[in-house]
Structure formats: C-alpha cells, structure tokens
C-alpha cells in the first residue's frame, strides 16, 4: 500500500538556516506485481499458439537421372484459366476443373479431380505425377494441389518447368473438346 511519512507537524522558519524536512513516501509494489503476473498467466493460458505450416520436400541430387516408363508418368499441367490438363504418357491431355463452383463457400478442390487422382494412383502404384504450372496461374493452385497429394498420400510427384510445348498441349486439349 502507499504510505506517506509525515513529520510531527512542526515547521521551521522558511528563511532560517534550517532546511525543511521532506515528507517521506513509501510505495508498496507487491499488489502491482501480483496483478501483472496474474495478467501474464491469463494471457499465456488463453492464447492459442499457431503451428507453422511446413512441408518437407526432398530434392534429388543434380547428378543422375531416373528412368521411368512412359505409362507410369502422369503430366499435370495447370493453366491460368482455373483448369488442369492431365495426361498419361503420350495421350492427349484431358481437361478437369480445379475447383468446384459453389457460391458462398470457400473454394475447395473439385471432387472430380480428387476422384481422378484416387483412381489413377490405385490403378498404377508406380505412377509418378509431373506438375507443371503456368506463369499465368495462381500460386494457390499449386499449394492446394500439393496439399491434396498429401491428403491422398501421394508422395511420388515432381515439379517441372512449364514450356511452350506444354502451352501447345493445352491448346490441343481445348481444340479436341
């Protein structure tokens, strides 16, 4: 508690040689420290700590090539139009929507895409997916696709450069449609 120590009430002459006595002041800090620690404890216990969202990516060594049969390679091209174009081996690409069109909800990957991935990986256990994303596409498309791979426990995928040949393959798929 705060206390004031006062002298007996006597005052000396102001101009005299005697100095005035100062009033002593003592402030007890214990209650303030208690409140500070209570607040600190309260905020520490009620705060939720966010885990950082990280994903482990294994990068192969630059030397050495891995030979994979063409029938075991699925090429997944992501264009900037909200669609993905996938093909097995040398087949012509097929178009599939990346997201379901639902109003009022957060966009999630389409059921058709999820089912296609499940079917293809179940049919071929040696399947390797090569993902190529256009510069026109949103980065969110790639992140959502990799998250979907993790949910489906697909761990054999690779990222590659989107080339002019890939653009021609997408145009070929649109023309066949």
The phi, psi pair for 148, rounded to 5°, reads -65, -40
Q: Is the pLDDT of residue 41 over 90?
A: yes
Please tell me the least confidently modeled range out of 42-46, 59-63, 118-122, 142-146.
59-63
Place of tokens 């482990």: 56
d(CA 176, CA 95): 10
Q: Which residue has the higher pLDDT, 47 or 38?
A: 38
* DSSP code, position 13: -
Judge if pTM exceeds 0.75.
no
Per residue in 89-128, pLDDT (tens digit) is 888 888 888 887 765 455 667 888 889 889 988 898 888 8
Distance, CA of 103 to chain centre: 24
Q: Please tell me whether residue 133 adopts helix, strand or coil conformation.
A: strand
Domains of the chain: 71-100+108-176 (3.30.420.270)
Res 1 pLDDT > 80:
no
Average model confidence (pLDDT) across the chain = 81
Q: How confident is the model at residue 11 (pLDDT cuts 50, 70, 90)?
A: low
């Amino acid at each position: 508690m705060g206390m004031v120590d006062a002298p007996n009430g006597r005052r000396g002459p102001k101009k005299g040689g005697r100095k005035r006595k100062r009033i002593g002041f003592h402030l007890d800090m214990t209650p303030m420290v208690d409140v500070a620690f209570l607040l600190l404890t309260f905020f520490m216990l009620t705060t939720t700590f966010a885990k950082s969202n990280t994903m482990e990516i294994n990068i192969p060594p630059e030397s050495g090539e891995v030979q994979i049969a063409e029938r075991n390679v699925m090429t997944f091209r992501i264009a900037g139009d909200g669609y993905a174009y996938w093909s097995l081996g040398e087949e012509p690409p097929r178009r599939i929507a990346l997201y379901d069109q639902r109003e009022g909800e957060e966009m999630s990957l389409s059921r058709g895409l999820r089912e296609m991935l499940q079917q293809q990986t179940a049919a071929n256990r040696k399947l390797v997916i090569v993902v190529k994303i256009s510069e026109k596409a949103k980065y969110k498309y790639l992140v959502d696709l990799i998250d979907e791979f993790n949910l489906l426990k697909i761990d054999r995928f690779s990222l590659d450069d989107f080339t002019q040949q890939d653009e021609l393959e997408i145009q070929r798929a649109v023309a066949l449609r």
